[in-house]
Structure 1
């Protein structure tokens, strides 16, 4: 993403200097421990391991929910690179069991998720190809 944003000349807009350290830290956590636990939650055949992985994923998602108490998006009132980087993984987490996620009562992350899901950017990248 950093390379792509640099090529488009939009790096400062989506990874502002004052939010760079926290953005990259959250992205790193997402890409390492959250992704590992997400895979265990999605694919484990062992109910105990699956439950443990869910709880570990929920720790990270709860941290994001707290950040959303003060902003519309994770670190700002407009989407940044961190939102775009983390969104697909949060989407996977929620989609494993939507009702279970809703039952956790994390309203801010759910509102953020729905904002991201209904954004023009998401609709644009998720356009279905037509086969003729």
Structure 2
């Protein structure tokens, strides 16, 4: 059975899952869905009703990091899993405090009790803390690791809230790190537009 990946193109969690699957070159059936109109097959498969959701012969994974390690555990030609324990701590920081600050800034209208300037400053402070770590281009040296691919989709989302302001305020190495990702073939590949899946469609294989 070819594993099935339910995905939404712009979701940063789904982006990082697709990045890992593409790096591993582990073929899945990609099913692009709309979050405002979730298909019944997806809702039956995903306990959390969130993307990404991977359905394989071994069961269901609906946490993006689990999907990443599932793919890279089968094939890791770039050595993305070869990172220190600090990489996992960094991913937790981005999945927790950074993502919280991102959401409160991006969706400020939904959170009138929060100050978007304060939460923006929190996110920028977390990013500035990476500056000295990025002197070789990536978080842990001259090559990307799981930590880079797991965090950059969120940095991209945060930067796009106000890209011109971000570019004027971000530190140089963080800027270069993000721009390398934004201009990469890997991001362009996983961000290709695909038709929304419907029951009965022919399988769309990825990568």
* TM-score bin, normalised by smaller chain: 0.7 to 0.9
Three-state SS of the structure 1 residue aligned to 2:117 is helix
Q: Which residue of 1 aligns with 2:194?
A: 129
Q: Which residue of 1 aligns with 2:117?
A: 51
Q: Which residue of 2 aligns with 1:25?
A: 89
Aligned pair in 2 of structure 1 residues 20, 64: CA closer, same or farther (>3 Å)?
same
Aligned length: 127
Unpaired runs of at least 5, structure 2: 1-67, 197-207
Q: C-alpha distance in 1, partners of 2:162/2:78?
A: 36
Structure with the largest fraction of helix: 1
Give the structure, 1 or 2, with the largest relative contact order (CA under 8 Å, sep 6 or more).
Answer: 2
Q: Is the 8 A contact 1:27 1:82 kept in 2?
A: yes
Q: C-alpha distance in 2, partners of 1:73/1:121?
A: 15
Q: Which residue of 2 aligns with 1:81?
A: 146
Q: Which residue of 2 aligns with 1:93?
A: 158
Q: C-alpha distance in 2, partners of 1:3/1:11?
A: 14
Q: Which residue of 1 aligns with 2:80?
A: 14
Three-state SS of the structure 2 residue aligned to 1:109 is helix
* TM-score, reference length from structure 2: 0.56
Structure with the largest fraction of strand: 2
RMSD, matched Cα: 2.1
Three-state SS of the structure 2 residue aligned to 1:14 is coil
Structure number with bigger Rg: 2
- Please state how far the C-alpha of 1:128 moved relative to its aligned partner: 2.2
Unpaired runs of at least 5, structure 1: none
* TM-score, reference length from structure 1: 0.86
Structure 1 segments of 4+ aligned residues over 4 angstroms from their partners: none
